[in-house]
Amino acid sequence: MAATAEALGRALAADVSLQFGLLVVVFALATTVPPAVLRPVPAAVAVTAGTALSLAFGHCMTAAGAVSQVLVLYAAGAPGVALAVPLVVFALVRPGTAYDGVLAVLLGSFGPAAVWAGIARRARAEANVHRAAREAIADSLVEHTVRGERARIARELHDVVAHHISMIAVQAETARLTTPGMPEAGARRLSEIGDTARAGLTEMRRLLGVLREDVPADRHPQPGLAQLAELLDEARDAAGVGARLIVSGAPAEVDPGVGLAAYRIVQEALTNARRHAPGAAVDVELHYTGEVLRLRIRDNGPGAVREGGHGLSGMRERALAVGGELRAGPATVGGFVVVAELPLEAA
């Protein structure tokens, strides 16, 4: 009889152990599976419910379940505030074994911290979104302002400068045709003035097309080093003085931006020489040295310092724009010299 009772007791104990084991498995699944199949907030609710049931009725808790609880609270953010309250309660009660009590205390400590960390993460993400939106709005306002300013400059150029250039062309042509007994050289000079004014007007219209997007631009390849000889021919014909182009070193391929900057610097230096030293001969030297193109434009006129206007500052800005530098001043052997050193590749 005693043996039968003992066997029955062992069977009941085994049955209870089996039920407890199944209960532990169910609670373990309840605290680890939801994050894989549910969204953050529903997963946090399901895991917290599984943790509460596990501690309240099973008096057990797995390490994986504890880690899962902290992670879902972090992912839930603000909604996880209410879900962290039961964890704090269980941390104070400390149910089950010492092991489960330690897990409860850890959950009660790290759970709220995970919630606040999740809230901070979301707040930081929202702040980044708002900052990006503000920057986009600011960029749009700047672009709108720039477009408005470009349109205003285009209107000024069209209404004022282009009008005066047109009048120069008309008056030069009229003077050439209506002045009796004009010498051939004078007629040729007036014709050249008209041609130069019309060329300037064409450049002005092209500039207007760049400034105003609603005006169709007459786009042509920008000038470069290949057009320097033609530029000097025009200067020679217009001023009636000598203008030489001297090239030294091994010619190398030049970035189009650098070629344009070099062309404009030479063009402005020639204009500067005609204005301040009329009748002076001009030498334009191109010297290729390694990765640098050296420009030297010198006239044999008075070597006085030339101030006023925007010619010299404009040349310096063009040189700086491509990563080079420019110097200008009276030459040591007389005359005025402009020296620019430009990289073959624009900076």
Mean pLDDT of all residues in the chain? 76
For 292, the domain range is 225-343
Rounded to two decimals, what is the model's pTM?
Answer: 0.44
Number of structural domains found in the chain: 2
Last-in-domain residue among 202, 220, 238: 220
| Single-letter amino acid code for the residue at 275 | R
Closest CA to 103 of 117, 118, 123, 87: 87
- Asked if 320 and 242 count as a contact pair (C-beta separation under 8 A), the reply is no
Residues 6+ apart with CB under 8 A from 31: 47, 50, 51, 54, 61, 62, 64, 65, 68, 69
pLDDT tens per residue, range 110-119: 767 777 787 8
Co-location of 47 and 73 in the same domain: yes
pLDDT tens per residue, range 24-53: 566 566 666 677 667 777 777 777 777 777
Co-location of 256 and 154 in the same domain: no
Co-location of 274 and 132 in the same domain: no
Co-location of 215 and 233 in the same domain: no
pLDDT tens per residue, range 117-138: 878 888 888 888 888 888 888 8
CB atoms within 10 A of CB 3: 7
The CATH number that applies at residue 327 is 3.30.565.10
- Mean pLDDT score, 262-291: 88
Last-in-domain residue among 205, 220, 235: 220
Residue 283 φ/ψ, nearest 5 degrees:
-115, 130
Q: What share of the chain is helix, strand, coil (3-state, %, to 5)?
A: 70, 10, 20
Q: Are strands 282-289 and 292-299 parallel, antiparallel or unpaired?
A: antiparallel
